[in-house]
Every structure is written in C-alpha cells, then in structure tokens.
Structure 1
Amino acid sequence: MRGIVPSPWLEILLALAAVISGALIGAERERHEKPAGLRTLMLVCLGSAAFTMISYAFTSTTGDSGRVAAQIVTGIGFLGAGAILHDRSNISGMTTAATIWATAAVGMAAGAGHLVGALALSLLMRTVLTAVQGWEIRHLGGMRAVSIELLFEPDHGKTRIRIERLREVFHATARQMQIESLEDGQVRASIEVHLPRRHLRELLNSLADLPAVKEIHTSNIGGEP
C-alpha cells in the first residue's frame, strides 16, 4: 500500500481501515455489554494505527521506530489489565483483555500499510469471539445438566434483569426461567442449564455475587453425577 497511494490520502485510508477493523470487533463486545465495547476498541485500533504511522516518521538519526511498536504493546498491556476483575472465587475479563491486546495488533497492521490484512484479522477475531465460544460450550468441558433454584429479593425488578443478563452471558437461555412470588415479598426462581462444568461454576459464582440473592440450590437433571 505504501508507495502506491500518495500522502496524506494513504494515512487517511489506513486510519479509516483501523476504525472499521476496530468496529467489527467492538460490535460483538458491545452486543454482550463487555467493558471494552464498540468505541473503546475502535479507539484502541485507531490509536495503535496512528502510533505505527508516526513511527515511520522516525529515521535512524532521530530514533528507533521499533521502540514505538514495543511501547504500544506495553501500553495496551496496562489497558487490558484494567479490564480483568479478580475476587476470591472468580477471575473475569480475561477474554476482554486479550481482545484489547489483539485489537491493538490489528491497528498496528493497518498503520503499517497492511490494509487487507488488518480487515482479515478483525474478521477472524470476530469469528473467534462468536463461533468458537458456542462450539466450546457445546463440545468441551464435561457438560452438566443442572436445575438451579434461587431465592432473591426483587429490588423493583432489578434482580431479575441481572439474572437474565447472566443467563445470556453464559448461554443459559434455552429454557424459560420459572418465577414464583412469595408472601414475604421474595421471589423463587428455577432455571435449567446445560453447561460445561467450568462455565457452570462461573455462573453459580456470578449468581452468588448478586447482593439480592439469598439462597442457591442446585440439583442434577436426569440422574447425572
């Protein structure tokens, strides 16, 4: 690409390619309401592309252009670390952090002039984030069919929204959640899920972290151990 399109149209074209690439990845994260969504990943991709293009302005007498790329990787590492949440029983945000890191690589590819490669990489990342996750849930990790019974305070409907959000995140929405309102104002809900053991543990931990949830009981479906 470099040497074919004159400046400044080349830089404009590469910046637009970076924005589009970031949008392709960020749209999937935004749909799942992740901390790094559409605008964040568009800016990560554009910023990485801009720093890479700036690095081409350096010559051997003024600096080492390779250092710019190294600093991009380091800086993005700090940004990704901020997306990782850790508590006593669960670690979340690893996929988001990896997505930020890989999106920066896509931006660097665009800034280096590999326009088609950057777009192809963004499409490949979008495939990994969508198709691979579904395949992982269906085929890996020792699937378990479990009925989860919850007792929670409705909190003006907010708790149910949070529970439904977790069901969507963990792809546990195949069956309707059964709801029963109790005389004391609390709500009993029953959910049937079919998930890998690791994802089931993460779902249960996330449900337990909801302040309004008072009790959680699980039972296997179909006599599974």
Structure 2
Amino acid sequence: MIGNGEMILRLALAALFGSIVGLERERLLWAAGLRTHMLVCVGACLIMLVSAYGFKDVQGTPGVVLDPSRIAAQVVSGIGFLGAGTILLRGEVVKGLTTAASLWAVAAVGLAVGSGLYVPALATTGLVIGILAGIKPFEERWRDRQRGHGLRLTVKRGTLSVESLHGLTGEHASRIRQFILAPAEDPDLEIATVHFSRLPPATIRTLEAKLRASPDVVRVETAEG
C-alpha cells in the first residue's frame, strides 16, 4: 500500500490537471468552470484511491472477494448526471455538450492519477486542452461555411403552416431544414423561424421579397442560420 504522502501528491496532481481544463472552460464563462473541473478530478482521484487501497484490511479474509475496479467504474456512469446538468440548464437549446464531455474527461484523468498513471493523465490533459482550445477555431470556421440562412417571420395567427410555407417558397421548399412556429406577444400574431440550407445571396433576397409580398406576413427579419 502506498503512503499518505503519495496519496496527497496524487490528489494535488488531480487538482492541478483538473484546473488546467477548468481554466479553459472558465475563460468562456461556462457554468462548469475552474472549481467544478477541479472538484470532479480530485473526487475521481480519491474514489480511485479508495477503490484500490481502501479495503486492504479485509483482503484475504475467507469468503471476501474484492474487485478494485467496481467503485471506480461507477464514476464513468455517475459523472453523466453532472454532465447532463450542464446541458439542461440552458433550456430548450442544446448547448453545453462540450463542457459535459470535458467533465467526463477530467473524471477519467482523476482516475488515472489516482491509480498512479501520471504520464497518461498528463498526456490526456494536454490532449483535452488541445481539443477544447486548438480545434475550436477550425470547427467554427467549418460551421460558418456550412451554416445556412435563417428568417424570422411575423405572421397573422393561424395563417402559416408547413404546406403554406412550401407554397410561398416554391422550388426552394426542399431547402427548408427547420420550421418553428411560436406565439408572439400580440395574440393575433405568431413568430415563425425558418432555417434554410445554404442558398446563394440572390436567392435569399428573392425569397425575402416574396415572403414580404404575402398579405399574411407582417414582417421578415434575418435570423441566425
């Protein structure tokens, strides 16, 4: 069994590695930031220590069979509850998946440190930071190229449906990838958000003009695509 000094060192390293990932999330002002990642990593490290060394006094007892991996394995599934909270707190919009994944990753780092796998834990920390900070600009650039065009329509209540929208957009109806209809503050109006896959600027302007010409459409605005 390792000594108390080694255990404290492992817990401190887990806090350090968790803080490195947490600082990147803190920089973007996510709910799960520096302290959350540190706590997850340290907690996972301690669970690993308990799993590996906490039952030494009963080992060898007749009728007692121990599996050191059982307690640590619960971290893998248990961290999902915390990760889900970082997603659900943002309401109906699915965001926070990356932060949830980073929490899951630092839990794995904590388990690795707790088991004494310092080099894999350090390497994983570096890879996680590289993925979170280094890959993001390329991901955003790719999304910008793939992003379509969105329109927010203010229409008279009960006048717009999927069928009528297809009629208004004509040959471009097949480019509609999302249609959301919600009530407006005015009880006589509704807000329709329509997202199209990528269209040439001239086609977008033509669509906007056609929609504005409809007697049931009160206003047409650009929405995030």
- Structure 1 and Structure 2 fold alike (TM over 0.5): yes
The answer on whether the counterparts of 1:53 and 1:112 sit within 8 Å (CA) in structure 2 is yes
Aligned to 2:98: 95
Who wins on radius of gyration, i.e. which is larger? Answer: 2
**Identity score, percent:** 41
Aligned to 2:211: none
Question: Matches of 1:97 and 1:217 in 2, distance apart?
Answer: 34
Q: Point out the more displaced range, 42-51 or 73-82.
A: 73-82
What residue identity is the alignment partner of 1:51?
I
- 1:134-172, CA deviations, whole angstroms, 9 ceiling, x for partnerless residues? 111123563459899xxxxxxxxxxxxxxxxxxxxxxxx
Cα distance, 1:87 vs. partner? 4.7
Cα distance, 1:119 vs. partner? 1.7
The answer on whether the counterparts of 1:147 and 1:218 sit within 8 Å (CA) in structure 2 is yes
Question: Matches of 1:103 and 1:216 in 2, distance apart?
Answer: 45
Cα distance, 1:68 vs. partner? 0.6
1:44 aligns with 2:40: yes
The answer on whether the counterparts of 1:76 and 1:101 sit within 8 Å (CA) in structure 2 is yes
Q: Unmatched 5+ residue regions in structure 1?
A: 149-195, 198-214, 221-225
Provide the secondary structure at the position in 1 that maps to 2:86.
coil
- Give the TM-score taking structure 2 as reference length: 0.59
Q: CA RMSD in A?
A: 3.1
Aligned to 2:221: 217
Cα distance, 1:45 vs. partner? 0.2
Aligned to 1:107: 110
The structure in which a higher percent of residues are helix is 2
Question: Matches of 2:221 and 2:49 in 1, distance apart?
Answer: 56
Aligned to 1:154: none
1:120 aligns with 2:123: yes
- Give the TM-score taking structure 1 as reference length: 0.59
Q: What does 1:72-221 align with in structure 2 at a 5 Å threshold?
A: 72-85=75-88, 87-88=91-92, 90-140=93-143, 142-143=145-146, 217-218=221-222
What residue identity is the alignment partner of 1:71?
Q
- 1:68-125, CA deviations, whole angstroms, 9 ceiling, x for partnerless residues? 112111221111111112655x311111111111110010000010112212211110
How many pairs were matched up? 152
Question: Matches of 2:150 and 2:79 in 1, distance apart?
Answer: 41
